[in-house]
Structure 1
């Protein structure tokens, strides 16, 4: 699905609204954003630049606000991002060519995912693969009473939010086709901007269980988010997750 004009609020420019911004750059930015998202209900972009800067291929600052967007299958209720010193192919844009990033840019801001966003995003390969790898890592550790080096067949994934907690559930499918419910309940903290740490993880008999078995050996276990991602603040509530941080966007 592509972003249609009726799904997009008019792109706003900053007070420096020059002719190049309104007639050339804003439409190019609009087309580029269309190519990056699958769906969005509301989109606003503020561009801070002047004609001379645009012609040199530099956008000093670009602020993006979006609502109910889907990016790579992941659903976001709200997105607020700001990028600075963005290098683009200005000469080609003036001649009607599509916008293209010339250098990686560091984007900072916040995203908000409601509980329904997380559930629908489980169909996206990016999140689904991450949840499966996370559960397999915990299961292979043996701390949960399941130890296996082979690929584990996990189906019917689920995510539930609690206050400062996340409950991940799935069915573990045996070679004979039998399904065994499994669930992990854990808090998360930041050991470093790119290291996500488990806090008091528990093994549950099923996803809605109130009591679980403490996984003491996994308390403090960290997951590396990669050098291109930084999380500065993570808030988990029963109905939403809010994340503030930085992300490197590659050309």
Structure 2
């Protein structure tokens, strides 16, 4: 009898854990974003050459909501007097020439991946951070409404194959009807344990016209060397989270975090 009770308890706990893993509650998902990314400070240069900063807790804001909040002037900024920032260097800029019908983002990331696979000569698993905020009922809801697009490239793939795989995976991630609109534990695990590179576009945050018609240009607090870029392209012993800004019609490698 005791064995049967233990078995029933085990099965109940197993079902509960599976449900949390596959259908993670929004609150838990947001807490994970808050724990991993925490408070984020974005530095901008305004038209008067002032450096100003906006601070967000990733637990409550994803990138699109951050950009909208800044654009609508719904959050106060601080003047930064002595904060060190770094200009983007030519070697950080990706080739942004569009390939056939593919978007500039797809083309730019595909050029980089093509270089990586040429040097590394291995299968590369890729994840693209994708927003589905536009699909929720209240697009101004606090929290993170992020899904992840996955694909694998192989050494025999050419630049067009890479573009096609990237575009298809992102479109599928954006168009799918999800039971849970937040990132699930299963998706977190797949992104950070089963892939080689994660790409996150900060295009919406790179340059912003506020509702009072002030142009804000994001400033980098990360110093990235040419050696860092070469390591990213050549090394195959690290997993990397790559942040991309967008200025002057080009995507820029603005952050590299190995994990």
TM range, normalised to the smaller chain?
A: under 0.3
Structure with higher strand content: 1
Greater gyration radius: 1
TM-score by length of structure 1 reads 0.23
TM-score by length of structure 2 reads 0.23
Structure with higher helix content: 2
- Bigger relative contact order, structure 1 or 2 (CA pairs below 8 A, ≥6 apart): 2
